[in-house]
Structure 1
């Protein structure tokens, strides 16, 4: 097979904030890697190197595609979804030696998306196609842009595969281009993350707030509400009329009435998230909406939580279905029409 450098201009990286290219490998980042000192916290930076929601897109007539990656930092199982002309073709493992390879794809020219792992970083050394195959930029059509910010429940490491996370289900179902900023254990309302979202192109923004505050003690009852207000108003500064959906924590039965490190129960945190949205709506932000996490995954759905906190594969698919319906009703008609055209083309 012919090897291609991951820095080749024929390759398009979607869903990445930045891509770090070295002579030996390329690594997508979900924070600007040259400015990581503006995003303090070793774990936040480690999570930002995990390419959840990132896609490597090519146009090719190759019937097989593969590659080789360096070992990950966490040693977790890594899988890649191969999407051909918008439809999921297969899920393939990245082997212990870093290699991965698809099965036989349909002949002829096609757009191939490699949805990268949600579990560990991926430093891509080479991409491989058939010896006689051609490669060209995919030139993806302009689609409505969805930006998602949240915790491990938005990073979705326990999803069945990268296209079956709830953000991917929402984006693919509505024909939107995803930028996923789910950082496991690190959704702590960082001002610099708020500024990043403020400056990203977006047609819909979803923020999932509260669960990492419960367990970390980074805020208390006095400071949490102002922090949520600050995050949302900073994002709004860059997106004056974009719909913003705020989702409060999903159910976690053992935490609902139990005080966490924040000095608040999960139920109290949920109430404060809702209060923040109510305050901003009273001050004229009519494009801001709140969705209770209990409506997304409630106490009766707790069997979908593999550890009482994080959804398993079926749980993430359940969340994707619930949130898709809400977002579809939320987006302006022009955005919805554009997204539907892409979603319908994908299905066909």
Structure 2
């Protein structure tokens, strides 16, 4: 039995159908590959983007930690370079210097780590073969980013630890200085009042900032050191000014005056004549005072006060001048609208302290009323 050949048109239709099926299959396969490539890329990109965000956050935290470490380290360098033997405890200063030295390589290493940047993703390609390559790169970059995140966080912890050590050492160092301030002032009582006031103000600023050792504490400590140096300079000038044969008696007079009003800031000046008195058998005194927080005063005395020390006349005159000076503690306690009333107050104050010699002011200004003496007795 023989088969008759297919019509020519039928063969062509078969070929076309087969080609169409093949193209359809290829299209389906390509579409599946393209879809798979897109899905794999999108998953990899989401994972990478999340890691990139974490990396940027961790790096920002590291930069902040390094900046803080650098600031505290600079503050420590400044303090140790400035610290004198007057105020800061030697051991505390050495501990701070050691902490500064130990922090230096940490700052360098952490700065280097913070300088490393995470990879960035390129624009998403279109074709499957490009997507597969880009996905592989994203996965590799993700691994790199994970390592960087660990490095950033570890470095940040190291920087924070070094900062903590520095701050502890810095706080201990400057605190030792503030704790020595009272004794330093007591040891240099002849320093001029404005320098003492500046020293106290710097000490207070340092005390307020010492718990958080940083640039602010460093600046306050520098101010404190400068004020201490100024105190030493003015003290030296004062001691030289009153040196000579009457030096011992002058010291006793000044000690006596300060004992009448403990804690009151008093400066003293000495001269042959004060307020027109001091020659022959006379003695002269003059007081100036400044209200404030704290207030302070300056007392000028003639050399004859020291020459006659410790006579009752000398003591009474000095008590009168301290009566003027102590006005800074009792502002508004008396009528100071005229010089006569001001002198009455000083005389009343000397009397209230028990100094009854007429050199207390009564020889020149008369006896003040009892009510003023009573008011003065409340001013101490």
Indicate the structure whose relative CO is greater, using CA pairs within 8 Å and at least 6 residues apart: 1
Q: Under TM normalisation by the shorter chain, which class is it?
A: under 0.3
Higher helix share: 2
Higher strand share: 1
TM value normalised by structure 1: 0.24
Name which one, 1 or 2, has greater alpha-carbon Rg.
2
TM value normalised by structure 2: 0.23
